[in-house]
Structure 1
Amino acid sequence: MTSYLDNFDPITIDWGSFSMETQNQSDLCFPELANISCRKSPGPVVFYLVPLLSISILTVVLNLLVITAISHFRQLHTPTNLLLLSLAVTDYLVGLQLIPMAVRRATSCWSLGDRLCSLFVYYVLTVTSTSVGNIVLISVDRYVAICDPLHYNIRVTVKRVQLCVCLCWFSSLSYSGVIYYDQLMQPGKYHSCYGECVIVFDFTTGVVDLVVSFLFPLCSVVMLYTKVFVVAVSQARAMRLHAPRGKLKHSPPFRVKKSELKAARSLGVLVVVFLLCFCPYYGVFLARDSLRNHTLQVCVIYLYYFNSCVNPLIYALFYPWFRRAIKHIVTLRILQPGSCKLNVL
């Protein structure tokens, strides 16, 4: 997903409107480059510094627990959990690098040069687009599990999921390189002053990215989960009707397992939360000509970053295996020989 809100960053906007006639040299990022230097942040930074740093630390810790749990315990090496692992890795990178770098950009001038700025933006695009791809893959996994349970174990295997995850990361790397190719080859091409790091797309590239990174994934996830929801509700209703009469044991072989229904509900919550954090991010971009309120822009950025912190909390609320795994990790039982074989399900 393209980080369009970099264009709404208050520092970036102020830097873009740089005017030497109205600013003293003390307000410049690089006073020795008075003719080409950007301006420093004009407002207080505590408003966004403390919350973002808190979100960053919490995001890193929680997602590291998810990564450790799924990677260490063999019982958790299932196709669905591998998708959750990939999503946790992207969320971990958001907390470890993207948020701190966003704080750096918001509280000081960019002093690492145009080349590193371009590479950082490319990295941001790759991580965020991979996160979107993981959500789509999770939706597909639940669709097959609920709507075609007889063939789920045949169609969705660990090796196939590993291949899909690798393709998702590779596609994100390639896609980000294509849409950002011009600025990767010519770093700083669209920078208005020295000390600025922004993302600038022309109209055609912006429309293409909007479709590929927002509209297509959004429609895919909504359609898949609508079908999953309809089937899950009908199956749950059938189970309630048959259970009191003792007919559940003789139910048709295509009936979905109760555990799959619970998994669909849990992952459905994850997808809904993602969309709630995802849509406003692009909504501000679509209405950028009319939305210039600084507070709204900052809140939308908070909301998007906060999603990476919320996902592990969803696992903790809905997945007993995650809570059991955390106990083993916190008590250091995972350091004991053979701990990877412990029962956490």
Structure 2
Amino acid sequence: MRSIIQFFLVLALTLGGGAFWWLNQELPLTAATLDLSVEPGTSPRAVAQTAVDSGVQTSPELLYWWFRLSGQARQIKAGSYELETGVTPYSLLRKLTRGEEALRSVTLVEGWTFKQVRAALLKQEHLKPDTKGLGDAVIMEKLGLPGRHPEGRFYPDTYTFAKGSSDLKVLLRALHAMDKQLAQAWQARAADTPIKTPEDLLILASIVEKETGQASDRPMVASVFSNRLRIGMMLQTDPTVIYGLGERFDGNLRRRDLLADTPWNTYTRNGLPPTPIAMPGKASLLAAAQPASSRALYFVARGDGSSQFSDSLDAHNSAVNKYQRGQ
């Protein structure tokens, strides 16, 4: 009986000027900002009730009949919404039918390891932490890549997400983004590259990412490592050693660390390491695919972020004396 009375009340309002007044009146909220979550398959009546349960202080029946009489009830979209002071019945329905979800963002930074990626996602209070407590192998299985190593598989970028989204969804988007960027870099690879597979390109790009101090040096850094691979010379790159040390690395790389054999130690093992060591960005992927044309086999930091490249060991030693030892 109550529903029938309210229906005729809404109908009467609709037929008169009162409807316009109510539709544009601010709805009282229990807080300045409310979260409204609409699950897939939720009926219009349940959406109205959920809005009231979330803190919108009005009659759920009144909201429901507004949804119905508007002709847009079936257009309400599932999602996570944010309602702020000033919302009206009209603007509420517009937000729900347009799918104007409350979006947040997280930035995955070039050069980060998967451990750092996981830490960043767990800090996002608006992300559902579905990966919390899971091992890397389990996460990769949930992402559809069982048995694959996660390092370097995710593209560094800023990703927006609706409040309450799963962190697995963000990872999946980053995974697909890296697949796309890697495929484009592989298609653009130089004809004489010593890199044989997209996987190896990803690994080399991760090394370039970690070894480059100045963006403009990336093609030359990639050239040094490509030249070494071409002639079978050890890569001897510190970031791979550090990655292999893991938690044992205390911030100071010692000679004994260079001699401590791990699968990632390019001072003790020839060729590329078995996996990437970080997330490479687009510039590093392209540099690894199209390195500068040079005969350089060595480089040393100048101290200003840039590097000095050398074709011979004698020239390299001179550069080390100049830029590292001040001789």
Name the TM-score class by shorter chain: under 0.3
TM-score (norm 2): 0.25
Structure with greater helix share of residues:
1
Q: Which has the larger radius of gyration?
A: 2
Q: Which has the higher contact order (CA 8 A, sep 6+)?
A: 1
Structure with greater strand share of residues:
2
